[in-house]
Amino acid sequence: MTLLELKDVHTYYGNIHALKGISLSVEKGEIVTLIGSNGAGKSTTLRTISGLLTPRHGEILLDGQRIDHLPPHEIVARGVLQSPEGRRIFPRLTVRENLEMGAYQRRDADGVRRDMERVFALFPRLRERINQRGGTLSGGEQQMLAIGRALMGRPRVLLLDEPSMGLAPVLVEQIFDIIQEINQQGTTILLVEQNARLALSIAHRGYVLETGRITLSGEGKRLLDDPQVKAAYLGESGH
């Protein structure tokens, strides 16, 4: 069942044509990844889905209902939540307060408490730092907090923008293990990631973006073996 769908989406920054007819779909329960070089339009795609940018043409559908004309808070209310590039946690708020901000639209106190426990089960480090200010956490802990905060909104689709950026390799593997666990618990994920090999190895399907266009798509494992992908994104020559 298709949960999220983009149909021929064109997005502009002023006069710059950033997305040039993007069409993609995310099925319920999938991890789908977008890979591509810097400036290909990966983050722009997520920002357009989130309502931070409005497409000039095309449609974005959640469960068959258009969301491309809604303001960002309405899109969040419908269950599309983003863990943004660069984490963007609230540095002066504690870990607990950051997580509570993720649930600010919810009115079910018991459910919020249960979800906070779920976040602490996924990220035990955050429980240890519960009263610490976000700005004093390490980069890896801030990434955990950014993902945890998005989970507090109980996402139907979780948008992850560059979760491995700036992290030590051992932490990157840990974050990716947790991303798989979140997916296995039933959350659908659209992942934008610079580390193409890692992203494709956990994704059910992937799309390759080049200068605002999708040039290739397929099963994650199949794209890992694709000569074009190997040469462009995995640092392997086609020989």
Burial 52-66 (b: 16+ CB within 10 A, else e): ebebeebebbbeeee
Q: What residues contact 113, with CB distance under 8 A and at least 6 apart?
A: none
Please give the Cα distance from 114 to 99 (Å, whole number): 12
Per-residue pLDDT, 105: 80
CATH numeric code, 2-79+155-233: 3.40.50.300
Could you list the pLDDT tens digit for every one of the 239 residues in the chain?
A: 899 999 999 999 999 999 999 999 999 999 999 999 888 999 999 999 999 999 999 999 999 999 999 999 999 999 999 888 777 899 999 999 999 999 888 889 898 999 999 999 999 999 999 999 999 999 889 999 999 999 999 999 999 999 998 888 888 998 999 999 999 999 999 999 989 999 999 999 999 999 999 999 999 999 999 999 999 988 765 44
Residue 218's pLDDT is 97
pTM, rounded to two decimals? 0.91
